[in-house]
Homo-oligomer: A and B are copies of this chain.
């Protein structure tokens, strides 16, 4: 793994600002790929973080959501105590054509 020299904003930064290292690191984890696949299988903004089927604690989940956010793969919207999610598919595809497809087709 690699120390990433790029800054990681809290705000969802566009994938156009993310680099390949960050993207690959994000996609190299099976839990995060599971999140992405569950996200792609449902309408946008339809799933809150807690309603994903994941084999880890909610603290670990929160960590993975943050990594996906910072890689430009995920956008979150707050609604009360919940955060609803959207896969930033077109933005990510524009930056790394074909990369997300590989992950989604493999699932």
- Residues of A at under 8 Å CB distance from B? 1-2, 20-21, 24-25, 27-30, 33, 96-99, 101-103, 106
Contacts of A24 in B (CB 8 A): 24, 27-28
Bound complex: CA A33 to CA B97 (Å): 17
Whole-angstrom distance between the Cβ of A97 and the nearest chain B Cβ: 7
CB distance from A16 to the nearest CB of B (A): 13
Question: Closest CB of chain B to A106's CB: distance in Å?
Answer: 5
CA distance in complex: A96, B106 (Å): 9
Q: Which residues on the B side are within 8 Å of A20 (C-beta)?
A: 33, 102-103, 106
List 9 A-B pairs, Cβ < 8 Å.
A1-B29, A2-B30, A20-B33, A20-B102, A20-B106, A24-B28, A28-B28, A96-B102, A97-B101
Chain B residue nearest in CB terms to A24: B28
Which residues does chain B contribute within 8 Å of A27, judged by CB atoms?
A: 24
B21 touching A2, Cβ below 8 Å: no
Most buried by B among A21, A28, A98, A101: A28
